[in-house]
Amino acid sequence: MNMVLIIASVVLALAAAYTDIRWGKIFNWLTVPFALLGLTLNSVAGGMEGFLLSLGGIAAGFALWLVSNFLGRILGGGDIKLLMAFGALLGPGFMAWTFALGAVIGGVMSIVIAIRRGVLAKIIKQMGTSVYMRTAFATPMEITDGAGEIRLPYAIALGAGALITIAVRLVRGGGI
């Protein structure tokens, strides 16, 4: 059962990256079935413990959504639902590592894209202003304001985070 969940996570990571590159979205028709698959398979294999593992993964993703909204919509809805689906498949610890690694990968991607487009200094200035306004005046941050036409398909970063987390855990032999 664990290998089915791992394969499902890999398929989800690749499909979400593709849809985010192709259409600029991570669709509900992609994430919801994988979340339901995770809930179902974990419940069948692990009973109440498996169900609670999946539910915990979904809840951890929902908590990220709350934090993201509090800070001013740092993650998009599709990104959050993707993380929730990863959590339903392989649990909250997997989702947390996927998010953490995805944040690092996404940061590197953002810097590379900003350098290639020649807008790094402008974006840093706008982010500094946004952070100041958030902390000094409680003005919500909207990270998409400074990006202009530049778009980062964040499912690439999250998918890479998931794949790295899977690879590291499989190499260590500890499973997922």
Distance of alpha carbon 162 from alpha carbon 79, whole angstroms: 13
User: Structurally, how many domains does the chain consist of?
Assistant: 1
Give the model's pLDDT for residue 75. 85
If you average pLDDT over residues 26-48, what whole number do you get?
A: 97
pLDDT digit string, tens, across residues 44-91: 999 999 999 999 999 999 999 898 888 777 788 999 999 999 999 999
DSSP string, 129-153: HHHHHHHHH-PPP-TTTTTTT----
Does residue 61 or residue 133 have the better pLDDT? 61
CB–CB of 141/130 below 8 Å?
yes
If you average pLDDT over residues 141-166, what whole number do you get?
A: 80
Does residue 29 or residue 119 have the better pLDDT? 29
> What amino acid occupies position 85?
A
pLDDT digit string, tens, across residues 83-97: 999 999 999 999 999
User: Among 161, 30, 29, which residue's Cα sits nearest to residue 90?
Assistant: 161
Give the model's pLDDT for residue 147. 52
Instruction: Give the predicted TM-score (pTM) of the model.
Output: 0.84
Distance of alpha carbon 127 from alpha carbon 141, whole angstroms: 9
For residue 147, the tally of other CB atoms under 10 A from its CB is 18
Q: Which two tokens stand for residue 67?
A: 């934090």
Show the domain range for 23: 2-172
